[in-house]
Amino acid sequence: MLVALSGGVDSSVAAALLSADGHDVVGATMKLWGGASDSGCCSAADAQDARRVADRLGIAHHVFNFKAEFDEHVVGPYVSGYAAGLTPNPCIECNRHLKFQSFLERALRLGFDAVATGHYARVEERGTRRCLRRARDSAKDQSYVLSCLTGRELDRLVLPIGGLTKAEVRSVASSLRLGTASKPDSQDVCFILGGSGASARARFLSDRVSLHPAEVVDVATGTVVGSVPAVELVTVGQRRGLGSGTSARRFALRVDVERRRVEVGSETDLLRRDVRLTKRTWVHGALAPGTRVSAQASAHGGAFEAVVTDEGLAFSAPRRRVAPGQTVALYVGDDVVGSGVALGDQY
């Protein structure tokens, strides 16, 4: 079995548990990012940590160079997404194209029968099917970022730590004297220096695309109430940093990069009853319109009730609109059944 060793504690324990269970385990680290990085699975230090863990466990370790694929499928779309006024999710695209496409295909070509990762989620047998389920540790559940997977990938996937809490994972790592036992969790956007905040994102994007100032327009009056230094950095639902020049709470409702315009309104204006979805994937076949699901629109967001439609989802009650570019994961109970990427409003 080939284990994706990122250099963090979660994948380290995943490899350790599989090895202890008698599996023939080999570790592999993906070299993804050719630029500077200080966090996540993209730094040289993480690859070194992964190799030390493999040595400690007595398993072979390899490094796979997927820098070109990472730039094409993750970094490039991340940059072009923001340039178009979207809010992309690079972690999901990395899972979609790198971990469960390039990495899985490499594993199969090398003769491995399955791959394993340190994600907090569960793969369970359900008759003749394998289902993706939420993790036991709800605070660490990562089923959202795996929601792009289908039955094809699940048939070859093992998630050893999905039934453990984070505290239990660190305890296992400590008992095995793994060097990653107390290592902090990585940042979400692993290829951006200085974390994943707005300022770090702005520095990263400004080196790759032109950022443009934009006017802020109140939808209630149609008047210009302020400006922002970079329309590309505004996210639908954002409240801070809109320069609206008013004491009233205003939220970004629409981001129009081409017209260099951000429309703002009240929290009530932010509410919607539906969302259109593109890039829809299904774990085991498309759900029929009218099917009731629970949905999640961000990695750490709460679930909300909805009904599947021909174009996406209809919400059971009005809720804040989903930022265009964000993935919406669909669940029935604790089972992931599909996902899609939110489209914006038509101008």
Name the pairing type of β-strands 121-126 and 26-31: unpaired
Are 54 and 61 in contact, with CB atoms under 8 Å apart? yes
- The per-residue DSSP string of 313-331 comes to EEEEEEEEPPPTT-EEEEE
Main-chain phi, psi angles of 218, to 5 degrees: -80, 125
Whole-angstrom Cα distance, residue 157 to residue 104?
9
Mark whether 91 is an active-site residue.
no
254 three-state secondary structure: strand
Spatial strand order of the sheet with 214-218 comes to 224-228, 214-218, 261-265, 251-256
Which H helix or E strand runs over 30? strand 26-31
Q: Taking Cα atoms as reference points, which of 80, 36, 88 lies closest to residue 210?
A: 80
Among 41, 42, 94, 131, which one carries the catalytic annotation? Answer: 94
Whole-angstrom Cα distance, residue 214 to residue 114?
49
Mark whether 94 is an active-site residue.
yes
Q: How far is CA 104 from the centre of its chain?
A: 18
Among 41, 91, 131, 190, which one carries the catalytic annotation? Answer: 190
Question: Which residues are known to be catalytic?
Answer: 94, 190
